[in-house]
Structure 1
């Protein structure tokens, strides 16, 4: 199966963590900001570092804002929903920053899980998956 050159959504899985990103050129690039508690949340790239790989596909590395994650079941159900609504989805399109195995060892000397990003950044990354209404709104935009 041929991959989309500029997909709407990219995802990657590592160590049981699924991370999903909207590509900054895709139809799902930004949802309206929503407020949850004291935190304002939206699904949007802020500090993405896109690059083109050797096969000509766009990749995203080291995103410090706007990553969406949930349980594996929620994430894959969301990806299926995106496909059903006509959005293009591509796997392997990003680095999973909180799964700990690609850039560092999984735990430090005390057994605490490690990540490439400080905990304050990880907190900002753990955002909610967009809802069905969000997807419908993005499809109509």
Structure 2
């Protein structure tokens, strides 16, 4: 951390991180998506979503429940990794479902909730736009 600060961190980056510390309020749902979770046995275009004309991209990976090619879906009881690519940077969030991450923007944040879906092998991704308290 010190090394990064010593090399020079743009004030905009520091500002965005400080904004992300506030509690999100007045949230409004922007989108809901069913996303297939990629595993070492299954990789497909359904494991990626692109939102806001490519301004936010998301890829989700998990561990397979079974070790055979006929049942390639992920195990929702094991850790998943969600990779967010936005504003020229990348963030990887890992954890057990449900998983929530907050992506800071200028005067607001995007709250991304990832939950288990009723559709085997998929998760539901909800993206909300929230003000910061």
TM-score, normalization by structure 2: 0.25
Which structure: greater strand fraction? 2
TM-score, normalization by structure 1: 0.24
Which structure: greater helix fraction? 1
